[in-house]
Every structure is written in structure tokens, then in C-alpha cells.
Structure 1
Amino acid sequence: MSLGRSLLTFALVGTCLSSQASVVMTGNRVVYPADAKQVSVQLTNQDDFPNVMQAWLDSGDEQSTPQTARAPFMLTPPMFRMAAHSGQTLRLQFTGADLPKDKESVFWLNILQIPPVAKGSEASNQMIVMLRSRMKVFWRPAGLQGSPNEMNKTTTASVSGRKLSLTNNSGYYASIAHVVVTIANKPVKLGGEMIAPGATKAWPLVGTPMGDSVQMTWINDQGAYLSGALPLKH
């Protein structure tokens, strides 16, 4: 949930050399402690050929570009070439903003991968595919309520009619992988959601949940899947 990939654009300038993002980022998210001078993100080019890369941050606009994106971070380098099977370190530096001190704020790191044009194809009017990856960046103040490893202790569950609601009472974003409820004596898996601090998300149900608890699975800072039971308020 922390990393998304999408086809960004097509250009009639060459041959499609890559249909999958093959420059990968280490980790499933970036955590930026509020008192840090900077944090680093490691990229690795798994291709047998070089790629040109462009990077930028935005505040949640999936259609953002380097020209339109707005986020309180400076990122270096913003554009670079990665040789085959090489690595590159990106450095993020918080530039200052009036962000809440009692909860996390989330931003997005965008990585655009531009594969090379095959020799001899410049005039062929074929397509090159550019792929964009997006990773969550959490700006994290110190002393927040709760823990990313114990989201089950600060999340409450309730049911009203055919709707299950989870409320995140912590200062951290809750990256829910899935929730399992029992309906008609059968387990029903509900899809993932990211719940902001203090927010509530609801899932429609096909029936009335049974029992006095639901099982929640969430993703922590290291990308591990953790599970715990939540008391269910009817």
C-alpha cells in the first residue's frame, strides 16, 4: 500500500524498452523524523541498460508533475542518469512548514523512469513508455500517541447496520492491509485502507458481523504485516 506504480505518459519518440518499473526503491515508505536534518532513499537500477530518472514530492496530487507539485521538501538530485545495475541515493530535506505536532503528515515521493531510445529507431515513430512510482513520505513529530507496531491498541471497531467502521485514535497513519469479520459463520475479508490520525473509515457489509471482535492486519514502518484483534462494538 505504501508504494504505487502507474503508467505516466507515452511519447512518439522511440521504442518501448520497458513495460515494468525496474528501478526500485528500498523500503515501502519513507519516515522523516521532524528533528532530522535530512533522510536518504536508496534506488537500484535492475536493468541491463541505463535509465534517466526524475524525482519530486507532492502533497497528494496523483497527477502532479515536477512543475506543479508542492511539498515542503528539497530533494537532490531531482534528475539524474542511472547506469545499468547501479545505485543512487536521493536526499530529502524538510524546508519548513506549519504542520501539526501531534500527528503525522503524509506526502508522496514520485520517481519517473525514462528508458533509453534504441539505436536506429529515432525515426520509427514508435513509443517509449515512461513509468512512475509513488512512495509515501511520513513527516513524523516526536512523542506521538500509539505505535506503528501496535495499531490494534489504538484502533477501535464498531458496527452499525451493515457497515463496519474503524477509528484510528493514534498519532500515526494506519496502513490497513485488510480486516476480517465473521458473517453467517464465515470469515469475510475486507480490503485495505489508509486511515489518517483521528479519522474513521467504513466498509459496507453483506450481513451483520458475528462475535465480539474483528481481526485487523496492518503494515508497519519496515513493511511487515502485523495482526491483532479489535473488540467490536455493536
Structure 2
Amino acid sequence: MMSLKRYNLAAVLLLLLGGYGSAQAAIAPDRTRLVFRGEDKSISVDLKNANSKLPYLAQSWVEDEKGVKITSPLIVVPPVQRIEPSAIGQVKIQGMPALASLPQDRETLFYYNVREIPPQSDKPNTLQIALQTRIKVFYRPQALSKIDMQHPWQYKITLQRQGNGYQVSNPTGYYVVLSNASNRMDGTPARGFSPLVIAPKKQCDAGRGRQ
């Protein structure tokens, strides 16, 4: 029999999630996530060359949610640039007319990628590695730009026990990451709950609980 016990959720926008790969990279963006609002024509991203001795090429592109490289509805310019030692370059992610065809009641997820290309070494038998950083880009329609402080969207996220597991429902238009959950009555952690990311207006299972 399904238990209808409800739990509090530690829910935050996915925009709080960081990218990966930037810690050891010479070329890294100045942010760990990006929000492209419906009213924006473009957004700028600074790229810092942390190497104080060598220039690097920075190759940039955008992927869709499935990781497929795209040139619409978002595009990066310039796609390749040279960044001098300790210098800062900049790219723009520009919106194309096809943005109007995206859902306007929820966020759409994209990825911005930047790959560093080191200068060719003059030493023989040298292995060079081109590191890549990938961060999330959220297209946020104008309909989601205003947040109702009287009725916070976070309170709409629900977690219900189903047998030995949990079901999470996200009826909002935002991407959400759930880090943990606890019993609403006594604060007891929901045992077996696994952190997860849930897309707008979706439901998904969240681990298996233990009796």
C-alpha cells in the first residue's frame, strides 16, 4: 500500500549547480552556470587564461540537452579566439529567431562548452592535453522572469513515499536539484533518498527507501 506521508525538500534551482573541469583548466569561464532570459538578445561570458606564460586558443560552442552541437537557437561568437597569458577574452552567446519556438512556460536546458588548445610544444615526445569545461545554460522565458514571493515556487515541489522508494513531482517551470529530504513532522531524514535533478513539469523516482 502506498504511503502518502509527505516530506520537506531541500530544493534549489539547478542554476546553483556548478560546471566541471574548470579547476585544472588554463581557460575557464567566469561563471559556473548561465541564464539566458527571454528578453535577452545576447549574454557575455569572460574567459580567463590562468597561464601566466603561454597563450591559448579557446574554442567555444553550444549543445542542446542531449549533448548535440547546435547553431540555433543559440550560437557562440567568436567560435575560436586567442587569449594571451593572464589575459581575459570574451564570447557572446547570441539568441536566434528560433528561440520563439521553444516552450514559453518552462526553462530549456543547453550547455556551453569551451575547449582550451595549448600552443604547440617545441619539445619532442611531449603529450599535450586539451581540457574542456562544460556549464549549463538555461533559457528562461519572460513568463518565468518574475517570482511570486507570496507563493514561492519551491513549495510546489512534492515528495511522496511509494513502497520502498519515493516519487518527486516538479510542477514548476524551473529545473530543480534536490539534495536531501526530511519528514515534515519530525525532521527525520528520508532514508534511501538519492540527490537528483528533475526537469520542469516532470515526475521521477528518487532512490529506494529502507524500512
Q: What is the TM-score with the length of structure 2 in the denominator? A: 0.76
Distance 2:138 2:110 in 1: 6
CA offset at residue 135 of structure 1? 0.9
Q: Identify the structure with the greater strand proportion.
A: 1
CA offset at residue 205 of structure 1? 2.1
Distance 1:138 1:85 in 2: 29
2:32 maps to a residue whose letter is N
Matches within 5 A, 1:144-183: 144=144, 147=147, 150-176=152-178, 178-181=179-182
Which residue in the other structure is 1:196 paired with?
199
Matches within 5 A, 1:119-138: 119-121=122-124, 124=125, 126-138=126-138
Q: What is the TM-score with the length of structure 1 in the denominator? A: 0.70
Do residues 90 (structure 1) and 91 (structure 2) align?
A: yes
Distance 2:195 2:89 in 1: 31
Structure 1, gaps ≥5 residues long: 7-18, 209-234
1:93 maps to a residue whose letter is Q
CA contact under 8 A between 1:146 and 1:172: conserved in structure 2? no
Point out which structure has higher relative CO (alpha carbons under 8 A, 6+ apart): 2
Which residue in the other structure is 1:117 paired with?
120
Distance 2:72 2:193 in 1: 32
Do residues 57 (structure 1) and 62 (structure 2) align?
A: yes
CA contact under 8 A between 2:116 and 2:131: conserved in structure 1? yes
Distance 1:190 1:47 in 2: 42
2:136 maps to a residue whose letter is K
> Relative to structure 1, is the Cα distance of residues 30 and 145 closer, same or farther in structure 2, using a 3 angstrom cutoff?
closer
CA contact under 8 A between 1:21 and 1:132: conserved in structure 2? yes
2:115 maps to a residue whose letter is L
Distance 1:145 1:96 in 2: 19
> Relative to structure 1, is the Cα distance of residues 191 and 96 closer, same or farther in structure 2, using a 3 angstrom cutoff?
farther
> Relative to structure 1, is the Cα distance of residues 195 and 206 closer, same or farther in structure 2, using a 3 angstrom cutoff?
closer
SS in structure 1 of the partner of residue 154 of structure 2: helix
SS in structure 2 of the partner of residue 153 of structure 1: helix
CA RMSD of aligned residues (A): 2.7
Query: Once the two structures are aligned, what percentage of the paired residues are identical?
Result: 24
CA contact under 8 A between 1:145 and 1:170: conserved in structure 2? no
SS in structure 1 of the partner of residue 137 of structure 2: strand
> Relative to structure 1, is the Cα distance of residues 205 and 145 closer, same or farther in structure 2, using a 3 angstrom cutoff?
farther
CA contact under 8 A between 2:196 and 2:206: conserved in structure 1? no
> Relative to structure 1, is the Cα distance of residues 108 and 205 closer, same or farther in structure 2, using a 3 angstrom cutoff?
same
CA offset at residue 33 of structure 1? 0.9
CA offset at residue 27 of structure 1? 2.1
